[in-house]
Chain A
Amino acid sequence: MKLKSWQMALVVLSLLALVGVGLFSGRFMIYLAMRVMILAIFALGYNLLLGQTGLLSFGHGAFYAAGAYGLGFFGLHLSSHPLLGLLAAVVLAAVLALIIGFFCVRHTEIYFAMLTLAFGMMVFSLLWSAREVTGGDDGLVGIMRDPVSFFGLLEIPIGKDRQYYFLVLAVFVLSAWAVQRIRLSPLGLALSGIRENANRAEFAGLSVKNYRLAVFVISGAFAGLAGGLETLLESNARPFMAHWGHSAEPILVSLLGGLQTFAGPLAGSVIFIAMREMVQRFTENWMLWFGIVLLVIIMGFRGGVVGVFQRLIGQAGGGR
């Protein structure tokens, strides 16, 4: 699929805007933008599972936490190189996703959701109770951002938020690109096939279980990457990252933006964080207003914001 010209323009504009934020905006804006991008990486990967394959996981917080604690432990005990730490985060998350996924992918729908919930909460309780190792409910604190060193030849400092922003941006762009590639690859097409009709896919000779496991691990790895990035940003890792309440975040974000589109989770992440921030500015009763806005979006934009937007564009262009 080639990008239509307006889509291409949108991509370029967004990239320019993101670079502009990094260069010119204030520190809080930069911080929020990083939170948006990290959530978007989490959700983009997650949506390969939910949007593309039709599997609803309630346990991806566990992989996010695996990434966060993975980076934390790696930094504390082995090497504080941020990129190696992120690599460790991704690997640990992927391995955990492989183990948990092995048990979960035989089931679908609500059973799959419940199994992933149970496994995710197991990880949560482990992180909470293994205090000697994990710091219990205080979590791992004080993880610092060392410069990114390339074999000692070149050192790029990321200690300041503005510097770290560009690392997050780079990882975000690479992740978005990778996710899009996966969506359009033969793997992605097979996954859509499984979503539409698992039996037919099985008849066509696809090993449905293996495909599901593969996408489970991939989305888990993205969750781990996001977790690692957040730990570098906030300098802590905490058990709540594995809690089902956090696992629900990428679901929420994907639904807000739209399940079946690539841009859905991106738009959803922006809406989720920006909206909460705005609501909190004008009222202490943010839960009430946030809930009302959610209601409106669910009742009004049932295909997600991006889906509705695309339909409008389609109508305006007189297209199909």
Chain B
Amino acid sequence: MEKMDRRDFLKRVGAGALVTGAGALGSGVMVPTGLWAQAPKIKGPIKVGYQAVLSGTLAGYGEFHKMGAQLAVEEINQKGGIAGVKVEIEFRDSTMKPDDAIKNARYFVDSWGADYLAGVDSSGQALALAPIMDKLDRVLMVTHAATEKLTEEWVFKKGIKQIFRMVNSTYHDSNAAAFIAKDLPALKWATVSPKYEYGFTCWKLFQETLKKLKPGVSFPAESWAPAGTTDFRSHINTIMDANPDGLYSTEWAGELITFLKQAKQAGLFDKVKHVMLPVGAAMDVLEGMGAEMPDNLWISGRYFFLYPNNKDNNDWVARFRKRWNHYPAYVSEAGYSAIYALKAAVEKSGSKETKALIQTLEGMELDTPAGRRLFRKEDHQAMYDVPWGKTKGDPKYPFKIMGESKVIPAKSYFSRPPFEGPGADPPFSS
């Protein structure tokens, strides 16, 4: 019985190899060449598989993703679709877990027949998806996950060309913050940040860059808050004991609200005058804090709905508000632009095949609500400028907005390919 099992097993493995071999050959033969490639005809519909977190404490982010992507699909279909073909979109709950992210992506591609993937919230999920993207062979447009490893290690070094990122990465949250911080009259900086890779990475990069930009700075205290922290009082005391000039915090979403409220009660903002919140310009935070948001905190994000102040963006915000009765969050803008990136790539290349999309997207410029984006050829990171600004009240809005904003060009703070050796990391001499 046992022996038969083993022999059986080998036979089955052999058979399996044969079948897949044939499959590989088949698809090789099927690739359109010659005449067929000259006159492409897209067979509709174009299907988009979008995953975002739709359950648990961060479910609000998923809803914001959905609003943006859904609006784009409705607009496009109303005007006749992409190259005459309708767009279909399906959303799935990513639950923030890497294994669910993989299952969703596989479902979208292998079962539902998606042509294009977008979404993904956490860095862990993005990194888990990276190694299978060449097998699934669809473009994955990441609209939230921030880890720089995704584009540097996986796209640039390991050549997983299917991955693109629509939004800023950890560099914006750390290096750009350092460029702002260098001009502030603050020499001692401390942090309260999330106790996971994102928080650790940002704080490390912020320190390194700020040290280079402004010799003489010191970092007297750091305090880490695990996911799910509801009581920041000990963290706040850590900071107040160190008596720094500046506070840098990559807390985000609900935990940032809790932190800000408790810090305000404890009088932290009376003592520490310079506060930098790289993801403070998120709509859930601004609306959640309402009038309680202290003034003069430096905030930023992936996009803020009042920037750029041009017709394209203002019109978009109006359309978004009309459709959803909400101001667009940064993930909404990213979700919206992810669909338009697909539209631009398909129309330009005349195909929805992954290979053609990748070729077109590489180095492509795209006008989006957040401004003009350039998908950097080497690592597929979208380069665009997001402002930093100080919170201030405005009678037009029931929440604090970003006043007097300052724009650091993305080019000056994103690490440059080949991401190694001197000259790869900011600040750049030229």
Contact = CB atoms under 8 A, between A and B. Distances in A.
B363 interface: no
B110 A27 contact: yes
Contact of B13 (A31, A131, A167, A286): A167
A235 B103 contact: no
B131 A131 contact: no
Contact of B131 (A128, A141, A160): A141
B197 A23 contact: no
Contact of B124 (A19, A137, A280): A137
Interface string A235-260: 11010100000000000000000000
A144 B131 contact: yes
Interface stretch (B37-45, B74-82, B89-97): B89-97
A169 B93 contact: no
Given A138-B123, A138-B147, A156-B13, A26 B110 contact: yes
Contacts of B407: none
B111 A26 contact: yes
Interface residues of A, number: 44
B93 A280 contact: yes
A173 B147 CA distance: 40
Nearest to B110: A28
Contacts of B196: 128, 136-137
B180 interface: no
B93 A286 contact: yes
B16 interface: yes
B9 A141 contact: no
Given A142-B130, A236-B127, A238-B124, A284 B12 contact: no
A23 B127 contact: no
Most buried by B among A27, A169, A170, A236: A236
Nearest to A161: B135
B19 interface: yes
Interface in A143-184: 144, 156-157, 160-163, 165-167, 169-170, 173-174, 177
Interface string B52-85: 0011000000000000000000000000000000
Contact of B127 (A26, A138, A144, A177): A138
A156 B130 CA distance: 25
Given A136-B200, A137-B197, A286-B93, A162 B16 contact: yes
Interface string B124-154: 1001101110010000000000010100001
A51 interface: no
A173 B13 contact: no
Given A144-B131, A238-B128, A22 B20 contact: no
B208 interface: no
Interface in A2-41: 19, 22-23, 26-29, 31, 35
A287 B127 contact: no
A27 B106 contact: yes
Interface in B360-405: none
Nearest to A163: B16
A117 to B, nearest CB: 17
Given A167-B13, A174-B5, A160 B20 contact: yes
Nearest to A160: B20
A1 B20 CA distance: 40
A233 to B, nearest CB: 9
Q: How would you classify the secondary structure of chain A's contact residues: helix, strand, loop or mixed?
A: helix
A177 B103 CA distance: 28
Interface string A274-300: 000100100010110000000000000
B17 interface: yes
Interface in B1-44: 2, 5, 9, 12-13, 15-17, 19-20, 23
Nearest to B14: A156
Contacts of A177: 2, 5
B428 interface: no
A202 interface: no
A190 B407 CA distance: 73
B145 to A, nearest CB: 11
B127 A141 contact: yes
Contact of B130 (A141, A230, A287): A141
B103 A35 contact: yes
Contact of A138 (B2, B13, B124): B124
Contacts of A166: 9, 12-13, 16
B98 interface: yes
A234 interface: yes
B107 interface: yes
A141 B197 CA distance: 14
Contacts of A238: 98-99, 124, 128
A102 B99 CA distance: 32
B272 interface: no
Given A238-B98, A280-B93, A139 B16 contact: no
Contacts of B15: 23
Given A138-B197, A162-B19, A236-B131, 10 more contacts: A128-B196, A136-B200, A137-B124, A138-B147, A141-B127, A141-B131, A170-B5, A234-B132, A238-B99, A284-B54
24 contacts: A22-B12, A23-B16, A26-B110, A28-B109, A128-B196, A131-B200, A136-B196, A137-B197, A138-B124, A139-B127, A156-B13, A156-B17, A162-B16, A162-B20, A165-B16, A169-B12, A234-B99, A235-B132, A236-B98, A236-B131, A238-B98, A238-B99, A240-B98, A287-B55
Interface of B: 2, 5, 9, 12-13, 15-17, 19-20, 23, 54-55, 91-93, 97-99, 102-103, 106-107, 109-111, 123-124, 127-128, 130-132, 135, 147, 149, 154, 158, 196-197, 200
The 10 closest A-B pairs by CB, nearest first: A28-B110, A28-B111, A170-B9, A27-B110, A137-B196, A235-B131, A166-B13, A141-B127, A162-B20, A160-B20
